[in-house]
Amino acid sequence: MISLAFWATVINYLDRQTLSVAAPVLREQFHMSNTAYARVLFGFMLAYTIMNGVSGPLIDRWGTRLGYALCMAWWSAAALLHAFARGALSLGVFRFLLGMGEAGNWPGGVKVVAEWFPESERALASGIFNSGSSVGAILAPPIVAFILLRFGWPAAFVTVGAAGFVWLAFWWPIYRTPARAANAITKRTPLLPLMRTRFVWAFTLSKVFMDPVWYFYIFWFPEYLKHARHFDMAAIGEFAWIPFAVAGAGNLVGGALSGLLLRRGWSVTAARKGSVTFFAVLMTSAIPAAMVGEAWVAIALVALAMLGYTGSLANMLAMPADVFSKDDVASVYGFASMGSGFGGMLFTLITGWAVDHYSYIPVFTGFGILPLVCAAILWLLVGPLSPAARRRLHPETR
């Protein structure tokens, strides 16, 4: 079951990264300026941010099997539509539609974990499905570039879009809700009472400071290699994938660490928050990355920081299921992910301004410190990771 969520995440990132690989060709063909291209990217992030708060409750309402399938079908169809783009406006519209559908992937994956795994295995299971983002980011450049060069850029979008419908052919007949979850009495909570709980608003705030770090590496690391380290495109293709490969390992290491701590008698609260803190400290390795003289050292430091991010995220993905029932976890994580989207848009604008006016040094410093802010919020504001919030919403479950 978790392999299905893993491959959905791989396809999610293939669809997302296809534009990044094809951008030089599309920008030349459509005569797009930097500003026009930025608006296309902003359209995706805007839809992605808003729909995080919508897709989670819909998946909780419709169930994992149907809800996840509809999200995949939507974003795969949107990816296919990119082949019909004829300018910046139509490309931006299709990008907006893609963001609407892709927002459902993580709430859907979190719900799969909640339905199928006990608390001691949730962080590792979350790390497994989330590692699909690293795999997709690694696979996209060679696959998309090969198709683009042989058959043209429309074929690249058609191919990656079609992959989602192949996934649906496996998902629909295979996925089922386990008997213990299917037979349980549904106590799905409306979104407004969930938003009032301490966990949801504090967890959302923590993601404002954690997830923009990943967006920075996704959108800006190749630019950093080109302009600050003077890599040509061949060198970027040769080395830019390395941090993402290391990040894939972080998903598994992060999940394994909290599982080990739980088996050693740590509480869920201490194991999850302690693991996030450990990996947040690793992410401070980004601070010297822009200052060292050797490019290979900078790449190694960025790789360590990205491992820290995925290790942290594996544990944060498991937290909603530690507190809420399976009927509410997609809603909780979807709403919290709106925080990551708003943080991503804000810090992306700050990044561009800082690079234009100063250099990458304050940017890397800032993204090395932000994860520590996230860890502090988890310890000071989120509260215990226990079903107490669930019992307050549903006193009959005491």
Higher pLDDT, 51 or 225: 51
| pLDDT score of 118 | 86
| pLDDT score of 309 | 95
| pLDDT score of 390 | 59
Across 95-104, 171-180, 264-273, least confident range: 171-180
Mean pLDDT of the chain: 87
| pLDDT score of 98 | 95
Q: Which residues are within 8 A (CB) of 139 and not within 5 positions of it... i.e. 6 or more apart?
A: 10, 14
User: In angstroms, rounded to a whole number, what is the distance separating the alpha carbons of residues 98 and 71?
Assistant: 10
Alpha carbon separation from 358 to 107, 197, 219, 365, 392 (Å, rounded): 38, 41, 19, 13, 49
| pLDDT score of 154 | 93
Q: Among residues 264, 213, 154, 150, which one has the least CA distance to residue 368?
A: 213
User: In angstroms, rounded to a whole number, what is the distance separating the alpha carbons of residues 80 and 78?
Assistant: 5
Say if 184 falls within a structural domain: no
Please give the structure tokens belonging to residue 297.
């050292």
State how far Cα 46 lies from the chain centre: 15
Amino acid, res. 247? A
Q: With bands split at pLDDT 50, 70 and 90, how would you rate the model's confidence at 184?
A: low
Contact of 123 with 315, CB cutoff 8 Å? yes
CATH number for the domain that contains residue 30: 1.20.1250.20
Higher pLDDT, 191 or 362: 362
Q: For residue 384, what is the DSSP state?
A: -
Say if 183 falls within a structural domain: no
Contact of 126 with 314, CB cutoff 8 Å? yes
Q: Which residues are within 8 A (CB) of 247 and not within 5 positions of it... i.e. 6 or more apart?
A: 134, 303, 306, 307, 309, 310
Query: 3-class DSSP state for residue 103?
Result: coil
Domain tally for the chain? 1
Q: Is residue 70 predicted with pLDDT exceeding 90? A: yes
Say if 218 falls within a structural domain: yes
| pLDDT score of 93 | 94
| pLDDT score of 186 | 58
Amino acid, res. 70? L
| pLDDT score of 182 | 58
State the Rg of the chain over Cα: 20
Which whole number is the average pLDDT over 246-272?
Answer: 90
Across 10-14, 37-41, 133-137, 139-143, least confident range: 37-41
Please give the structure tokens belonging to residue 306.
């990205």
Amino acid, res. 144? V
Q: With bands split at pLDDT 50, 70 and 90, how would you rate the model's confidence at 398?
A: very low
Say if 179 falls within a structural domain: no
The size of the chain, in residues, is 398
Sign of the CA dihedral running 193, 197, 201, 206: negative
Q: With bands split at pLDDT 50, 70 and 90, how would you rate the model's confidence at 17?
A: confident
pTM above 0.85, yes or no: no
Contact of 125 with 117, CB cutoff 8 Å? yes
Q: Which residues are within 8 A (CB) of 45 and not within 5 positions of it... i.e. 6 or more apart?
A: 99, 341, 344, 345, 348
Please give the structure tokens belonging to residue 113.
């974990």
HSE-CB for 272 with a 13 A CA cutoff: 29
pLDDT tens for 328-343 read: 888 888 888 888 888 8
Which whole number is the average pLDDT over 307-325?
Answer: 90
Contact of 10 with 132, CB cutoff 8 Å? yes
- Percentage helix, strand, coil for the chain under 3-state DSSP, each rounded to 5: 85, 0, 15
Q: Among residues 12, 28, 132, 133, which one has the least CA distance to residue 79?
A: 12
Say if 274 falls within a structural domain: yes
Contact of 122 with 318, CB cutoff 8 Å? yes
In the chain, the N- to C-terminal Cα span, in Å, equals 30
Q: Which residues are within 8 A (CB) of 47 and not within 5 positions of it... i.e. 6 or more apart?
A: 95, 96, 97, 98, 99, 100, 103
Q: Is residue 395 predicted with pLDDT exceeding 60? A: no
Domain range spanning residue 303? Answer: 2-173+189-397
Q: With bands split at pLDDT 50, 70 and 90, how would you rate the model's confidence at 354?
A: confident
| pLDDT score of 102 | 93
Q: Is residue 394 predicted with pLDDT exceeding 80? A: no
pLDDT tens for 81-110 read: 999 999 989 999 999 999 999 999 988 998
User: In angstroms, rounded to a whole number, what is the distance separating the alpha carbons of residues 144 and 229?
Assistant: 25
User: In angstroms, rounded to a whole number, what is the distance separating the alpha carbons of residues 226 and 345?
Assistant: 23
User: In angstroms, rounded to a whole number, what is the distance separating the alpha carbons of residues 382 and 372?
Assistant: 15
Say if 387 falls within a structural domain: yes
Please give the structure tokens belonging to residue 140.
């996209």
Q: For residue 398, what is the DSSP state?
A: -
* Range ranked top by mean pLDDT from 240-244, 311-315, 351-355: 311-315
Q: With bands split at pLDDT 50, 70 and 90, how would you rate the model's confidence at 270?
A: very high
* Range ranked top by mean pLDDT from 119-123, 306-310, 334-338, 359-363: 306-310
Say if 34 falls within a structural domain: yes
Which whole number is the average pLDDT over 177-205?
Answer: 77
pLDDT tens for 283-301 read: 999 999 989 989 999 999 9
| pLDDT score of 393 | 58
Helices (H), 30-87: 34-62, 64-81
Across 126-135, 151-160, 282-291, least confident range: 126-135
